[in-house]
Structure 1
Amino acid sequence: MNPNKVDRNKLGKLTDLPNIGKAMAADLQLLGINVPADLIACDAFQLYDDLCHLTNVKHDPCVIDVFMSVVSFMQGEPARPWWEYTSARKEILRQQ
């Protein structure tokens, strides 16, 4: 969903989250994430690694940005477009 349209009080399904459409919701379900609250204690980088392993595909690193956006949102941060997390992701990976 477009981050500008997200209503924190109406988070019944994964597609109610910022930056999550049908395809990404399916990926989250593959990872065992079935409702938005399941993301609160998640690590975006681990979600990405698990997704790549489960699908046997090296996904675009921007998927990490999407995961970062929804984990942060569920931890209380404002809804932001996924691309606002790109520089933070690159910096974290550079430091590893």
Structure 2
Amino acid sequence: MNPSKVMRERVRVLTDLPNIGAAGAKDLQLIGIREPTQLIGKSPFDLYQELCLKTGVRHDPCVLDVFMSITSFMAGDEPRPWWYFTPERKRMLLTSSAK
């Protein structure tokens, strides 16, 4: 759903989440996420890795941005477009690869 249209009190199914449409919901279901509350406390990086392992494909890093957006939202943050998280993802991956 477009982040500007998300109303926290109406989030019931995966497609009610910011940046999640039918394809994103299918990806989440593939890794065992059936309802939004299951995202609470989850690591977006772990979700991304699990999806890549499950499908045998390295998904576009923008999928990780989407996972960052929905885990952030479910942690209580405001709904934001997925690209808001791109700079943070790049910083985090750069930091972790430098170790």
TM-score by length of 1: 0.99
TM-score by length of 2: 0.96
1:39 aligned onto 2:39: yes
Runs of 4+ aligned structure 1 residues displaced above 3 Å come to none
Query: Superposed, which structure 2 residues align to 1:5-24 within 5 Å?
Result: 5-24=5-24
Alpha-carbon shift at residue 49 of structure 1 (Å): 0.5
Looking at structure 2, the residues matched to 22 and 65 of structure 1 have their Cα atoms a distance apart, in angstroms, of: 17
Looking at structure 2, the residues matched to 12 and 62 of structure 1 have their Cα atoms a distance apart, in angstroms, of: 24
1:91 aligned onto 2:91: yes
Cα deviation code 1:42-78 (max 9, x no counterpart): 1000100000000000100010000000000000000
Looking at structure 2, the residues matched to 42 and 67 of structure 1 have their Cα atoms a distance apart, in angstroms, of: 10
Looking at structure 2, the residues matched to 12 and 68 of structure 1 have their Cα atoms a distance apart, in angstroms, of: 19
Query: Superposed, which structure 2 residues align to 1:9-88 within 5 Å?
Result: 9-88=9-88
Give the secondary structure class of the aligned counterpart of 2:77: coil
**RMSD over aligned Cα atoms:** 0.4
Alpha-carbon shift at residue 13 of structure 1 (Å): 0.4
Looking at structure 2, the residues matched to 32 and 52 of structure 1 have their Cα atoms a distance apart, in angstroms, of: 14
% same residue: 56
